[in-house]
Homo-oligomer: A and B are copies of this chain.
Amino acid sequence: MTQLKNDLILRVLKGEKTERVPVWMMRQAGRYLPEYRVLREKYGFFERCQTPELATEITIQPIDRIGVDAAILFSDILVVPQAMGLEVQLIESKGPFLPAPIQSAADLQRITVPDVHDRLHYVFDAIKLIKKELHGRVPLIGFAGSPWTLLCYMVQGKGSKTFDEAKAFCYQQPETAHRLLQMITDTSIAYLQGQIAAGADLLQVFDSWGGLLSESDFETFSLRYMRQIVAALGDKVPVILFAKGAWFALDKMKATGAAGLGIDWCVSAQKARSFAGDDIVLQGNFDPAKLLAPIPVIQAEVKAMLRAFGGHHHIANLGHGILPNVPVDHARAFVDTVKECSINHD
């Protein structure tokens, strides 16, 4: 194992006070980078995910270019439904499309809890290659979608503002919904265990659509399953839960034993801290659209964010993925400002 030269994010996740705030950006390996767009022209989406050399190149692109403190595996949350047996198409600019979504108990017979080493080995191969190529520069974040968020796509069959069909499925057929959620959970735990075995230094679970649920339904259909994931893996590597919009459950998410909680820009640092308590790492929460502002505005707003979080138990990040039309120097201004303005003198 190569020793990590920069383990800032891991030390923060252990609860340590560090010399400055670590920073990375959700979707940092992605469409705002010209060198990514070159590869996108040449290879299909799943080709990029499934070819370890391509996934490695894309994962590493932002490390030196933007100077982030962690790499995050280039992949997609929908590789899991795909490995479970559902066809997933990813059409650029149109989003995901699952031509034969789950709509009934009978449909569960079309999917399985697969052997992840058979169906998702390409991810583990990519992680091994990324770790080698990173050569200890920064830690590598592995990830998966939350069971609830994957159910949304597996039932609705495509992206949606409100995922009404997925919610209706849960409200009309709760028993089938829970069977599906458990199958996804079992697959995800094996998948994330495989990522750790391959070399992932920490994990993030993306619950992109948790914030569409009421507090009580979030417990029933989302948190219950994320809790299993943290219980299975949280003693092996730090796990960050990011449930976009689910500010109302920060206290319960903390109680899972997660090492960190991601928050979006709609919950202020102060409110997030008051909900989650002092003894947990918060990750976030810059408005991604604000990276379209002029650089001096970005710098001022990043400083305000850093002040609001207070310099400790904080991983700087956006509150959602970076937008494709953000200029590269704006992304770098975000990262540079965190690095320059979060130095702790105590």
Contact = CB atoms under 8 A, between A and B. Distances in A.
Q: How many copies does the complex hold?
A: 2
Contact of A214 (B247, B268, B292): B268
A290 B171 contact: yes
A268 B248 contact: yes
Contacts of A323: 164
Contacts of A213: 266
Contact of A266 (B171, B248, B288, B290): B248
A289 B215 contact: no
A62 B52 CA distance: 58
A217 interface: yes
A161 interface: yes
Most B CB atoms within 10 A — which of A162, A164, A267, A268?
Answer: A164
Interface in A168-218: 168, 171-172, 211-217
A271 interface: yes
Contact of A293 (B161, B172, B211, B292): B172
Contacts of A287: 167, 214, 217
A269 to B, nearest CB: 10
Contacts of A167: 287, 289-290, 292
A77 to B, nearest CB: 17
Given A268-B214, A287-B217, A323-B164, A292 B172 contact: yes
A84 to B, nearest CB: 24
B289 A171 contact: yes
A331 to B, nearest CB: 15
A297 interface: yes
B214 A266 contact: yes
Interface string A259-298: 0000001111001000000000000000111101110010
A247 to B, nearest CB: 8
A245 interface: yes
Contacts of A289: 162, 164, 167-168, 171
A171 B293 contact: yes
Contacts of A164: 288-289, 292, 323, 325
Interface of A: 161-162, 164, 167-168, 171-172, 211-217, 245, 247-248, 265-268, 271, 287-290, 292-294, 297, 320, 323, 325
Kindly list the 9 A-B residue pairs having the minimum CB-CB distance in the complex, ordered from nearest.
A171-B293, A168-B292, A167-B289, A214-B265, A164-B289, A215-B268, A161-B161, A171-B290, A214-B287
16 contacts: A164-B292, A164-B323, A164-B325, A167-B287, A167-B289, A167-B292, A171-B289, A171-B292, A171-B297, A172-B294, A214-B266, A215-B271, A216-B268, A217-B287, A247-B247, A248-B266
